[in-house]
Amino acid sequence: MSSSTWRVLLRPAFDAETEASCGTSVSEAREAHAFWRGRMKQLPWYRRAARAEAREMAARWQRRMLHAQLERWRLAALAGPLLAVLDRAPTGKVAARQVARQVVRVSPVARAVAIAATAVTVTALAILVLVVVALVQLV
C-alpha cells in the first residue's frame, strides 16, 4: 500500500463530537462514563443499590464508548468480539492470570494457542541451555 493510502486508513472517519452509527458520540460516551465512575467512587459504602446502579451504568457507558471509538477508527467489525470479551470479563480488580485461565478453560482455540506457546518456550529454553553448555565446553 502506498503512504497516502495508509494516511487515509489511519485517520479517524469522523471527529469525537460526531455521532457514530451506534447512536453515541465518543465525547458523550466519555463524559457519561466519567460521570458514572465518579459517582460510584463518591457514594458511601452503605448506599449499595446506588453503587450497584453506578457500577452497571459505568460498564454500559464503557461498552458504548468502546463501540463508538471503534466505529470512529473504521474498526466496527471488531466491536462484536471485543464487546463479547468485555462482557465475559469479571468486574472489579482481577489478576490478568485469572482472566487468562478462564479464557483458556472456555475456548479450545485459546487452549491450543497456550499449549503451542508453552511448547515453543520450553524448546527455546532447551536450545539456549544447549548453546550455553556447548560454549562452556569450547572455552
Q: Are residues 49 and 84 in the same domain?
A: yes
pLDDT for position 133: 92
Q: Are residues 46 and 114 in the same domain?
A: no
Q: Are residues 56 and 102 in the same domain?
A: no
Model pTM? 0.54
pLDDT tens digits, residue range 47-76?
999 999 999 999 899 888 888 888 877 777
Q: Are residues 19 and 55 in the same domain?
A: yes
Q: Are residues 104 and 78 in the same domain?
A: no
Q: Are residues 69 and 96 in the same domain?
A: no
* Domain of 126, in residue numbers: 92-139
Q: Are residues 83 and 96 in the same domain?
A: no
pLDDT tens digits, residue range 110-134?
888 889 999 999 999 999 999 999 9
Q: Are residues 51 and 13 in the same domain?
A: yes
Q: Which three cell numbers stand for residue 108?
A: 479450545
pLDDT band at 101 (very low <50, low <70, confident <90, very high): confident
